[in-house]
Amino acid sequence: MPEKWALLGIHDDSSRAGAVASLERVDYMVYVASSPADLIAQSYDDKYSFVFMDANFGSPGSFNLSPLRGVYSALQERVSSVAAGLVAFTGNEDLVAQAQKEGLPIMDRRDFRIKNYL
């Protein structure tokens, strides 16, 4: 069976640890990005079937969609063909509205449950 890989860009330590544990329980290999640049660079690798990220990864609390824009640009073709999934979330309603206005995939953090994607 081929390895399944997920890429994470999550601010909060406990949320990140929970995501890693959930993914590993269902046999995913997990790469945790160290920075927005690392997350975007890794997004170009075809081995990832899922990317889970804070929309403003690397800038907690900011109104910064650059990380999401970069990852979406890297994955757009694979997401469109359902070869990869991108799940971006935030607790900032204004950031959700802006991302939706730009056509970026995003959801409210309160609605995010990693188990719904596995």
SS3 (DSSP) at 63: coil
The pLDDT assigned to 116 comes to 77
Per the structure, the count of domains in the chain is 1
> In CATH, what number is assigned to the domain containing residue 81?
3.40.50.2300
Mean pLDDT over 11-20 rounds to 92
What is the overall mean pLDDT for the chain? 90
**Domain residues for 45?**
4-117
The pLDDT assigned to 1 comes to 58
pLDDT digit string, tens, across residues 31-86: 999 999 999 999 999 999 999 999 999 888 888 999 999 999 998 888 877 778 88
- ∠ at Cα 91 (59, 41), nearest 5°? 40
